[in-house]
Structure 1
Amino acid sequence: MGGCSRMSCEPSSWPELPACLKPLLHAEEIAQLHQYAKLLQTWNERINLISRRDIERVWEHHLIPSLLLLTWRRFPPGVRVLDIGTGGGLPGLPLAITHPETEFLLLDSTRKKVQAVAAMVAELGLSERCRVQWGRAETLRERFPFIVGRAVAPLPQVLRWVERLLEPQGTFYYYTGQPWPTPPSAWQATWLPFREKMPESPYLASKGILELRRP
């Protein structure tokens, strides 16, 4: 695990975690998440990874919402997870930190973002099980049992990409910007009835996490 050199990792500097997350995270994971938050802030000064308005609220607007999936789902050890359109490593890197026995592929089509995320992965000591790749979802040839995504594109477009990348009986978790209405009937041949999870947390506001499964 990467250390905390060149940045403060004192517990007193960490934000207050929501009660639903506190029992789910180890102290070492919280320290590593804090290190990632500082790296994200540093890299964001050079490359636009997240909104400049969020630079002082990385935990509240990005890390904590990414971690809320842990309150109702965890990935089994040994599986591979794809983060489609990872941007600055969200939600993939927070999930990778909290799943030490799971492999992650962080995919993005912007080369500069991929280079920044790869540098953060190396700094965090995650290179052995967290791969960063430059490319588009349409050209990726691998398949995965689990895929995550966060505000990548309109959901119908994202589902067209995910459909061919997800293994049979695989699951897609999509962090939505707003509650999603009942899906069109045309989806029923491709997707099992979906669930929308709205964790009770002010960090999600009106946002939710969609769980969609392949037959």
Structure 2
Amino acid sequence: MTVPGAPSRPDAVEAVFPDSAEAAVRYVDLLATTGVEWGLIGPRESERLWERHVFNSAAVSDLVPPGVDVVDVGSGAGLPGIPLALRRPDLRVVLLEPLLRRATFLTQAVETLGLADRVEVVRGRAEDHRVTYDVVLSRALAPLPRLLGWCLPLAGRDGSVLALKGRSAQDEVEEQHRELVRQRLSAEVVSVRAYPEAEDATVVRVRRVPS
């Protein structure tokens, strides 16, 4: 199996995607070719697609309950929604993306990877979407206040928002502490890994505080 931009550990693809390694390789190939050509992925990112993007996205799997409905807000090139769907065949995933070129790429990717039976591409903005989900995902989408404004309305009453963030995640949560308390929300910063030797992925998990 040829692995575009091979990860630092050769067996990592099989470890992270035990039932869909070949599909994961095809996805990375799409990112490295069409994704770069269409401007969805920066040219300098093509050599680190696995570690920085795909494994980073797949790591969120540990925070998603079994068999739930998930929406990836501002999905872009399908990160984190497609890696999550490849790793977790029990999930139903909606890739929500407002821009035509990105939505077209996502539709092609879902069909190419054989995910159309449980992954749906919806072209639209989060603020116009009227469906709720068990888990709302985002990755490097916006600062926390704006992100929650878009994502919280999409989370069901017992749902959660999982925001993949950078190293400033804890600072963001602390800065928003009063507003989170006012809205009766709990927020915690969680570190997860796709496999033991992978880099940490930092996730802000936000849930409503029970009445």
Aligned residues: 202
* Structure 1 range deviating more: 142-151 or 29-38: 29-38
Confirm whether residue 126 of structure 1 aligns to residue 120 of structure 2.
no
Say which SS state the counterpart of residue 55 (structure 1) adopts. helix
Say which SS state the counterpart of residue 193 (structure 1) adopts. strand
1:20/1:213 CA distance change after superposition, 3 Å? farther
Confirm whether residue 104 of structure 1 aligns to residue 98 of structure 2.
no
Alignment of 1:29-40 (within 5 A): 29-40=20-31
2:144 maps to which residue?
A: 155
Counterpart code for 2:152: E
Residues 166 and 214 in structure 1, CA contact (< 8 A), matched pair in contact too = no
Alignment of 1:107-186 (within 5 A): 107-180=96-169, 181=171, 182=174, 183-186=176-179
1:213 maps to which residue?
A: 207
2:199 maps to which residue?
A: 203
Residues 191 and 212 in structure 1, CA contact (< 8 A), matched pair in contact too = no
2:7 maps to which residue?
A: 15
Residues 72 and 95 in structure 2, CA contact (< 8 A), matched pair in contact too = yes
Counterpart code for 2:129: L
Query: Within 1, Cα distance between the matches of 2:34 and 2:13?
Result: 26
1:76 maps to which residue?
A: 66
Residues 70 and 136 in structure 2, CA contact (< 8 A), matched pair in contact too = yes
1:208/1:20 CA distance change after superposition, 3 Å? farther
Identify unmatched segments of 5+ residues in structure 2.
none
More helix by share: 2
How far residue 42 of structure 1 moved from its aligned partner, in angstroms, is 1.6
1:57 maps to which residue?
A: 48
Query: Within 1, Cα distance between the matches of 2:4 and 2:179?
Result: 51
Counterpart code for 1:185: R
Say which SS state the counterpart of residue 164 (structure 1) adopts. helix
Counterpart code for 2:204: L
How far residue 64 of structure 1 moved from its aligned partner, in angstroms, is 1.1
TM-score for the superposition, normalised by structure 1: 0.84
How far residue 189 of structure 1 moved from its aligned partner, in angstroms, is 3.6
Confirm whether residue 41 of structure 1 aligns to residue 32 of structure 2.
yes
Residues 72 and 136 in structure 2, CA contact (< 8 A), matched pair in contact too = yes
TM-score for the superposition, normalised by structure 2: 0.85
Residues 67 and 95 in structure 1, CA contact (< 8 A), matched pair in contact too = yes
Identify unmatched segments of 5+ residues in structure 1.
1-8
Alignment of 1:181-196 (within 5 A): 181=171, 182=174, 183-196=176-189
Query: Within 1, Cα distance between the matches of 2:54 and 2:65?
Result: 18
